[in-house]
Structures are given as structure tokens and as C-alpha cells.
Structure 1
């Protein structure tokens, strides 16, 4: 890893514990996402279809070789801070919580299908993931606006114009999946999710973001375990 990468990959953590999730406001996929530079090479990515990340690559050979993998190595999740990124303003405690949650969610979901290992072995998938954007919702305002029709209408108008409502969280992330022994690239995804305004509001600042992490982890685990097939709509 280059010196630049080390300086920009912050909040590296070890194995995170899965955090409990209260009822949360719904989330939805954003209209677009910016590449952060974490993955390095984006040339093979295509625009995602329904049920896929906004930008995605799947090795055409993966459906034929997917059953060769029964283990997964999850590298420590990091926060990638690029130029003019608001991520640098997030408190250290919140950064730690976010990377812990994403790592724990990956362990929880992938562990349903694979043995979690710490060293490369035959039949192992290597997962590299980074949070590239995370903005908490305005908890008090979100709760109030969800119950006041005028404010809910204002949020919907903003959503029509920008693709995201007022006072909701959002998150972007990137992941690369390779063969842990050969380094062959098997899959890449770049995605962005935003809070979707609802009458229930949120109960915590990071509800939209942590729910996004759980959705990403579930979707990734399903697709890897099912040889590239998309997860059924939920």
C-alpha cells in the first residue's frame, strides 16, 4: 500500500461486533455515486441494473468457479478520505462505530455461507471494503418533519430535485473481492444509498447509514453464495 493510501485510509479496525438495529426509516439507492480512488482501477465497471450496485463488475468466470470457495478473509474496513471530503469532520468515535458496524455486518452475513479465516488459504475470497461517504441524519428535525405534513412536502420537493430528502443520512462505499491465493479480481462494486423519507422518522443519527451497511452486506453475501445471482427484492 502506498504512503498516500495509508494517509487516506483512516479508522482501520479489527474484527467488529455486530451492533443491534432498532426500527429505522427506509433507505433507497441514490441516482449516482462518485468514485473515491480506493479501488484504483475502475475501467471494467459497468452501470448497475435493478438490484445491483450503481457501478459493478463481476468476473464472467465467477458463476462457473463460485463453488470452489468456502472461506472468506475480510480485511479491516476503513474510511477513505478524499479531496474536500466531509468524512474528515466526523468524530473519531463515530468513525470507529461506523467501521465496526460495517465490518461486523460483513462478518455476520458472510459467515452464514462461508468460514471466516484470517489468512489466505485455498478456496478463500478476500474482501476489501471502504466507507467513502457517511452523513448522519438530523435526528430531531427528521422526527419532527416526518410528522408535520408541510415539512414532509418540502422534503419531497427537495427529493425530486436532488434525489435525496431533507434531514436524512446517506452513505457511499466501495468493495473489491478477489481470490485470496491468486489475487484475481472476481467482483467490484461502488454504491450509494440515502435515507428515504417516511412517517416513522429515525431514532438515531446513524440509522440510515448503518441500515445501508446491513443491506450491502446481505446483498453481497447472497450474490457471492449464489454464484452471481441477484438477491430477490425485499
Structure 2
């Protein structure tokens, strides 16, 4: 097999090929958590990350004086594994909920329930990255260009099986923002991120491995609101 066709085949066949994957969540990666994806457009978050986003062009944020964060969730509900146990999943979800409240409280007071003048934040950690059975995935680190050579590829595969190759931790999120008085969707965002690498394929993933990603998501939401207020 010639090198170029082989590389293309690898890109199609392997979720581990980060160099072949887009940084923006693609339509076939959407989880179904949002009711409508048709208006999403590529955009840059305040931190410069590539996201898919839609904001109601008639949105007037001055109408809102509080924000209510619904309990975050995984969507679809993941199944714990030896490598990603329930303790990790619960820790990730808890931290996501806390981070959203921490950052959004910098923009508006936190409300205890939806209502007039309240923005409702409905967010989920999704299976947007890979076809893994869990919403949080751990994938083998991308092969370097020289490892596309068939012999080196075999060596890399053996190393992976022996638990030598690092593992990347990835996860995605989808969120929608609603008017607390009537439930109308006023904004939506879909994005993904990469956490810390695990040292080998037997290392158990921990919530700490993706806290940096979650912090970035939450901070961007706060900064986005700040920018909308200045619009």
C-alpha cells in the first residue's frame, strides 16, 4: 500500500489520530442533548478555542439579573469501567457543576430556580469526541508522522499493547441557555477539549485529569457574558 492512501485510511479508521480530527465538534459527533443544531456556526471562544455556537441576534442581556445553573449531567449516561470508574465520573460531573456556578456568579447572582429575569444554564458532558461507550474517553496518543511507516506502526501498536504509549483524555460539552420566564433558547454552544495525558493504558483516569478543561469552559462562559454586556 502506498503511504498517502494508507495514511488516509488510518485517519478514517482510527479515533486515535488527533492530527486527522477537527478541533471543532463535527455534526456526526453531536450527542442529541440539544434540541436543534441547525443554527450552530464555527466561532472562537474568548480564550481563542474553536467552538460551535449560536446566540439569538436579538438577545438583550440587560433584561437578566440572575442565572440559574441546572444540575449538570452526562449525556448519554456513561457506563463506568475499570479505567474510568464511577468515582471519576461523579467527580467530573460535580466539578463541572461547581465550576459553572463559580464562574457565572462573577457575571450575575445565582438564582435558586428559573423565573423572569433569570438565565437558565443547561449543560452536559457529552460523548462528542469518540464512539467510546463512556462520555469521557481515553484514546491512544496520536502517532507521529514517522510512525505511519508500516514497520514503525507495528512497533507502536506493540508498545501500546504493552502499556507504554501515553493516553490522552478527552471530553466534550453541549450547553444551552434559556430565558427563565418562557423557556426560549437564547444561546447554545458545543465544544471539546483535551485533558492531561495518562502515562500508560492501565492508569486509572481521575477527575483531576480534566479539571483544566472544565475550568476553561466555565471561564469562557463568564467572559462571553461580559462581552455580550458590552455589545
Q: RMSD in angstroms over aligned alpha carbons?
A: 3.5
Task: Give the CA deviation at 1:32.
Answer: 3.3
TM-score (norm. length: structure 2) = 0.64
Structure 1 position 122 matched with structure 2 position 116: yes
Structure 1 position 225 matched with structure 2 position 223: no
Residues 25, 190 of structure 2: 8 Å contact kept:
no
In the alignment, what sits opposite 1:201? none
Structure 1 position 157 matched with structure 2 position 157: no
3-state secondary structure, aligned to 1:94: helix
In the alignment, what sits opposite 1:88? 79
In the aligned structure 1, how far is the partner of 2:125 from the partner of 2:72? Answer: 8
Structure 1 position 214 matched with structure 2 position 215: yes
Structure 1 position 72 matched with structure 2 position 67: yes
- Unmatched segments (≥5 aa) in structure 2: 1-21, 128-134, 149-164, 198-204
3-state secondary structure, aligned to 1:169: strand
What stretches of structure 1 move > 6 A for 4+ residues in a row? none
In the aligned structure 1, how far is the partner of 2:69 from the partner of 2:182? Answer: 16
3-state secondary structure, aligned to 2:168: coil
Change (3 A) 1:229 1:78: farther
In the alignment, what sits opposite 2:56? 59
3-state secondary structure, aligned to 1:226: helix
Where does 1:29-40 land on structure 2 (aligned, <5 Å)?
A: 30-33=23-26, 34-40=29-35
Structure number with bigger Rg:
2
Q: Which moved more, 1:104-113 or 1:118-127?
A: 118-127
In the aligned structure 2, how far is the partner of 1:207 from the partner of 1:181? Answer: 36
Greater RCO (Cα-Cα under 8 Å, separation 6 or more): 1
Task: Give the CA deviation at 1:36.
Answer: 0.1
Task: Give the CA deviation at 1:228.
Answer: 6.9
Change (3 A) 1:106 1:156: same
In the alignment, what sits opposite 1:179? 179
In the aligned structure 1, how far is the partner of 2:195 from the partner of 2:87? Answer: 22
Task: Give the CA deviation at 1:229.
Answer: 7.2
Where does 1:136-151 land on structure 2 (aligned, <5 Å)?
A: none
In the aligned structure 1, how far is the partner of 2:144 from the partner of 2:136? Answer: 20
- Unmatched segments (≥5 aa) in structure 1: 1-28, 143-153, 198-203
Change (3 A) 1:42 1:130: same
Aligned length: 176
TM-score (norm. length: structure 1) = 0.63
In the aligned structure 1, how far is the partner of 2:33 from the partner of 2:89? Answer: 17
3-state secondary structure, aligned to 1:73: strand
Q: How big is each residue's C-alpha offset from its partner over 1:28-51, in whole Å with a ceiling of 9 and x where there is no partner?
A: x93434100011211111122463
Q: How big is each residue's C-alpha offset from its partner over 1:14-63, in whole Å with a ceiling of 9 and x where there is no partner?
A: xxxxxxxxxxxxxxx9343410001121111112246355211111122x
